[in-house]
Structure 1
Amino acid sequence: MIPEILIQTEGELTSFCQSLIMTLVQRLRALEDEIAVAESWIRSFMNHSALCQKIAAVPGIGPITATAIVAAVGRADGFRNGRHLAAWLGLVPRQHSSGGKSHLYGISKRGDRYLRTLLIHGARSVLIRVSGKHDARSRWLQELIARRGYNRACVALANKNARIIQVLLSTEATYKPVVQADS
């Protein structure tokens, strides 16, 4: 709509300003085209990768997260267990122990910042939709939000998803959400 607005406001802006705005609009369109091409590559990789499809079944894991994790981790058999993958991503508490006392702080934030960010944003998308649901996982998340707060619940869910992803990538298992009847 910017070209139409420029026509309507003709005479109010200098020709230099109008040409500058049109140049920026052209750059924005080119960037949108590049994004569309990159998204098609991601969708194509996702459709051809059994590992990506396997971990995309986990709530909060979309095509971008799935392809990024598979590209960075592969089959994840280099990690002994899910906690090691979560620690590698920086999703575990930073720890300081001295004199027999152990102190746990916020997440360590070590490891791959991009993957950690994708997992946390995926967890946020799950938490936004958790209210009003009554399955076991949603109840756990609702209680966690009430007890620890929204941001800590996001990190906890991202940690849990990282652990699930490690199991899915390193074994033949498939993701099956826990369905528990309401009592």
Structure 2
Amino acid sequence: ADQQAALMLVGLRERLIRNRTQLANAIRGFAMEFGIVAATGMCRIEPLLERIAADQSLPELARELFAMHGVEYRDLLTETKAVEEKLTALHRSDECSRRLAEIPGVGPVGASLLMMKTPDPRTFKSGRDFAAWIGLTPKDHSTAGKVRLGVITRAGDEMLRSILVVGATALLQHVRAGRSRHASRWLTELLQRKKPKLVAVALANKIARVAWKLMVSGEAYRRTEEQTQAT
């Protein structure tokens, strides 16, 4: 029952974030119709709303409607924060979840979800099998003896797969900007050869394999884990 309630929390967080993103895009789109352009990113929405509220050249009705959108947007932010605080409390109460959160790209929410959604990790023969169960194994397109990796399969746990790919994507953004100490040789070389989206999936696969190893062994995360093959 506790696990089901925790999964409801995770699902609620995903829905709130999805609604927030849709609303932010709508606000930005409506603003463009009035000739007001804002940079991308959630952090740009509040300044955009402030600009609109102060722009006396806009029709009064338009400013009122933007203000209503602003109230809805802030309510979503408040609700999301409350849900994330509950998830963080669950995360902190679990020793294994705390260890998993130390893996770069995982964080409290990803760690909590790994604990909630994963059956006994020892039922998987290897980290590769665990990653495949999540759905992070790329489709195999083999021709003339050459293996080419394409998009990921749609098998596995969509929610868990999504949170790991999102975490990997965020980590890659810091690496590409030169703001991360987790820019391993493997990662930087892969970024030179592959598109960022494909690299994010490959990194999420590696994160899942390291997570499996920590769950099975009971060990804490070490920086050297990124350089080893989590079998």
Quick check: 2:175–2:182 contact (8 Å CA) kept in 1? no
- Of 139, 145, 155 in structure 1, the residue corresponding to residue 185 of structure 2 is 139
Q: Alpha-carbon deviation of 1:119?
A: 1.3
- For 1:73, the equivalent position in structure 2 comes to 118
Is 2:224 the partner of 1:178? yes
Q: Alpha-carbon deviation of 1:41?
A: 0.6
- Of 90, 93, 96 in structure 2, the residue corresponding to residue 51 of structure 1 is 96
Q: Taking every aligned residue pair, what percent have the same amino acid on both sides?
A: 30
Quick check: 1:95–1:102 contact (8 Å CA) kept in 2? no
Residues 11-36 of structure 1, C-alpha deviations (whole Å, 9 max, x = no match)? x6355x55544443332232222111
Q: Alpha-carbon deviation of 1:88?
A: 1.1
* Structure with bigger gyration radius: 1
- For 1:148, the equivalent position in structure 2 comes to 194
> How big is the alpha-carbon RMSD for the aligned residues of Structure 1 and Structure 2?
3.5
TM-score when normalising by structure 2:
0.62
CA separation in 2, counterparts of 1:96 and 1:153?
17
Residues 142-177 of structure 1, C-alpha deviations (whole Å, 9 max, x = no match)? 112223343332221111110111111122222111
Q: Alpha-carbon deviation of 1:83?
A: 1.2
CA separation in 2, counterparts of 1:3 and 1:153?
37
What letter corresponds to residue 156 of structure 1 in structure 2?
A
Gaps of 5+ in 2: 1-46, 226-231
CA separation in 2, counterparts of 1:21 and 1:39?
27
CA separation in 1, counterparts of 2:194 and 2:212?
25
Moved more, 149-158 or 55-64: 149-158
TM-score when normalising by structure 1:
0.76
- For 1:163, the equivalent position in structure 2 comes to 209
CA separation in 2, counterparts of 1:31 and 1:136?
32
CA separation in 2, counterparts of 1:7 and 1:127?
37
**Alignment coverage as a number of residue pairs:** 176
Moved more, 112-121 or 57-66: 112-121
Q: Match of 2:184, SS?
A: helix
What letter corresponds to residue 174 of structure 2 in structure 1?
R
What letter corresponds to residue 57 of structure 1 in structure 2?
E
What letter corresponds to residue 93 of structure 2 in structure 1?
H
